[in-house]
Chain A
Amino acid sequence: MSEVLSRLFTFSGTGELLALPFVQNALIACAVLGLVAGALTPLIISRGMAFAVHGTAELAFTGGAAALLVGIGVEIGAVVGAVVAGLVFGLLGLRQRERDSVIGVVLAFGLGLGVLLLALYSGRASNKFGLLTGSIVSVDSTNLVVLAIVAVLVIAALTLLYRPLLFASTDPDVALARGVPVRFLSLVFAVLIGLTTALAVPIVGAVLVLAVMIAPGASAARVTANPLLATVLAVLFAELALVGGTVMSLAPGLPVSGYVAGIAFLCYVGCRVVARLRSRRVAAA
């Protein structure tokens, strides 16, 4: 037991590893992803789109697997898969019940197809596994350029459309009455989710995208109702999980996703505890 623990939590050699260029690339990638994902999460929570994000991630996996087989860049395949999925889910609008069942159906199909495509692929096995659980060695400088471009696009769109998006996400009926193009925005938002998910898949893996795309926003929403503060906190939590998780995974040489998901989960539990203590104090006062 203690052997396992000491293997999981070791920092011997972390310093030397941090000096390696590929590690630095990975850390930059994580920092950029944390910023983008963190900024989107409070809106994802407001729209109740956790399951849609999960579905989008699985389709990014399918796209990535297809790209691997065809021999083009995995991230291009992931972006295409995720954006298509995002558009499909976005077109379904805000009717939760219908949306959930369609996501479930599409997700299962996409995942099955992806597994099949991977089985047909005869290249390196680590490439296959990386799509599902993520790996930081997969991040190189070309990835970084793609990552940076997409991040700039997403942040620019979010800055421009923040108020209408917040309006449409939290108060859709009145937003519609006030002339906000609610349906169009839900498509735009779905594309933003698709792009960000596609960036996250190679790093944390398709299975654990929720750790960076949902958990930070869900945590922040427990402790504040201020949308701006929630966004700042969500970015903070996402950075903590991604950068912190990557650093922790270095010395043990284990997959980064476990650490990222672990930190994200601890943030969430911590926020719940804080909220609980606060409401007790209010009740006592």
Chain B
Amino acid sequence: MTSSHTTTSGVSRLPVTTSAVTLRSAAVRFGSRTLWEGLDLDIEPGEFVAVLGPNGSGKTTLVRVLLGLLPLSAGEVRVGGRAPRRGSPNIGYVPQQKALDPDLPLRGRDLVGLGLDGHRLGLGVRGMRARRERVDRALEAVGGSAYANSPVGRLSGGEQQRLRVAQALVGDPDVLLCDEPLLSLDLSHQRTVTRLIDERRRTADTAVLFVTHEINPVLPLVDRVLYLVDGRFRIGPPEEVMTSDVLSELYRTRVDVVKVRGRLVVVGAEELDEHHEESA
């Protein structure tokens, strides 16, 4: 399926692949500090990749690169076969839950609708009906129809995150980028949000890149893990990456990964995480 091709400028380009996301020798540097380099990653359609690592290890930076908000310092990146640019319609984005002003004059359906055409110019009077239908369908898919007309700021964190998923999926993206979408949600809402994302990738073959500091809520869904620590990283299935040996090597200290009642507990990395938080 892959073949090399050369552009008119004569520069050799990435091979044409069917991957949803492709990174080749990718690096990001801020001044003299290298966040990560030599990153090669292909995410296939329908694949679920979790990105883990301590604060400041460049997880969110990776999302920003894929969104086209930050250029790579070196290497190449493709999303849906093309260089990402701001506002690419084939990318959906789910942010972390954040408290919204309860008096914000915006309804649930408006939030979802902005995900569809909020970046467009004009009032969008034409195509109003088609837009409404798409928004309604997206709302229904996440079970959010009941509060579609409520002010978003007055909804619970879980309800807001469902709307966030609808907002990310309403444009029918090939790639879904999630940046800590479960943060500050209780367990049942975490399950709902992960279930919605999982459903989507199964039914529509949407590739998912899921940044999280906690793998357990998504562990059953994860195909591969990208674990970033201080410029070092490992990519592979969770059973290969989430081991005491691999994490000890990444953190350069003794780290134990223990399985307790189906949950992975990482012991020894927390202190380092805190250290990172201070320096980040």
Q: A160-B121, A164-B120, A178-B118 are in contact. Are A227 and B110 (CB under 8 A)?
A: yes
* B 126-163 binary contact with A (CB < 8 Å = 1; else 0): 00000000000000000000000111100000000000
Does A226 belong to the interface (CB within 8 Å)? yes
Q: A159-B122, A160-B122 are in contact. Are A226 and B107 (CB under 8 A)?
A: yes
The binding surface of chain B is classed by DSSP as loop
Which B residues are CB-close (under 8 A) to A276? none
**CB–CB A45/B85 < 8 A:** no
The smallest C-beta distance from A160 to any residue of chain B, in angstroms, reads 5
Selected from A170, A173, A175, A222, the residue in CB contact (under 8 A) with B104 is A170
Does B123 belong to the interface (CB within 8 Å)? yes
**CB–CB B119/A167 < 8 A:** yes
Query: What is the CA–CA distance of A267 and B149 in the complex, to the nearest angstrom?
Result: 24
By CB atoms of chain B within 10 A, which of A42, A167, A224 has the most?
A: A167
Does A283 belong to the interface (CB within 8 Å)? no
Does A220 belong to the interface (CB within 8 Å)? yes
Which B residues are CB-close (under 8 A) to A129? none
Does A285 belong to the interface (CB within 8 Å)? no
Selected from B119, B124, B149, the residue in CB contact (under 8 A) with A178 is B119
Which B residues are CB-close (under 8 A) to A48? 101
Which A residues are CB-close (under 8 A) to B119? 163-164, 167, 175, 178-180
Does B98 belong to the interface (CB within 8 Å)? yes
The smallest C-beta distance from B170 to any residue of chain A, in angstroms, reads 12
By CB atoms of chain B within 10 A, which of A45, A163, A173, A220 has the most?
A: A163
Question: A233: nearest residue on chain B (CB-CB)?
Answer: B105
The smallest C-beta distance from A151 to any residue of chain B, in angstroms, reads 17
Does B27 belong to the interface (CB within 8 Å)? no
Which B residues are CB-close (under 8 A) to A225? 104-107, 110, 149-152
Does B15 belong to the interface (CB within 8 Å)? no
Query: What is the CA–CA distance of A88 and B121 in the complex, to the nearest angstrom?
Result: 25
**CB–CB A164/B118 < 8 A:** yes
Selected from A159, A162, A224, the residue in CB contact (under 8 A) with B105 is A224
Does A70 belong to the interface (CB within 8 Å)? no
The smallest C-beta distance from B183 to any residue of chain A, in angstroms, reads 13
Query: What is the CA–CA distance of A167 and B107 in the complex, to the nearest angstrom?
Result: 12
Query: What is the CA–CA distance of A227 and B109 in the complex, to the nearest angstrom?
Result: 11
**CB–CB A179/B86 < 8 A:** yes
**CB–CB A221/B85 < 8 A:** no
**CB–CB A174/B87 < 8 A:** no
**CB–CB A167/B114 < 8 A:** yes
Which B residues are CB-close (under 8 A) to A180? 87, 118-119
Does B68 belong to the interface (CB within 8 Å)? yes
Query: What is the CA–CA distance of A217 and B120 in the complex, to the nearest angstrom?
Result: 24
Question: A218: nearest residue on chain B (CB-CB)?
Answer: B103
Which A residues are CB-close (under 8 A) to B105? 42, 45-46, 170, 217, 220-221, 224-227, 230
**CB–CB B114/A166 < 8 A:** yes
**CB–CB B95/A173 < 8 A:** yes
Which B residues are CB-close (under 8 A) to A162? 122-123
**CB–CB B87/A178 < 8 A:** yes
**CB–CB B69/A177 < 8 A:** yes
Query: What is the CA–CA distance of A221 and B107 in the complex, to the nearest angstrom?
Result: 11
Query: What is the CA–CA distance of A221 and B85 in the complex, to the nearest angstrom?
Result: 35
Of all A-B residue pairs in the complex, the 7 with the closest CB atoms, nearest first, are A179-B87, A179-B86, A167-B118, A225-B151, A177-B93, A221-B105, A230-B105
Report 10 cross-chain contacts, Cβ distance below 8 Å, ordered by A residue: A163-B121, A163-B124, A170-B106, A170-B111, A171-B111, A175-B114, A175-B118, A179-B85, A226-B107, A226-B110
* Interface of A toward B, CB cutoff 8 Å: 42, 45-46, 48, 159-164, 166-167, 170-171, 173-181, 217, 220-222, 224-227, 230
- Name 17 extra pairs, CB < 8 A, besides A48-B101, A221-B103: A45-B105, A159-B122, A163-B119, A163-B123, A164-B121, A166-B114, A170-B104, A170-B114, A171-B106, A171-B118, A177-B177, A179-B68, A179-B69, A180-B118, A222-B103, A226-B105, A230-B105
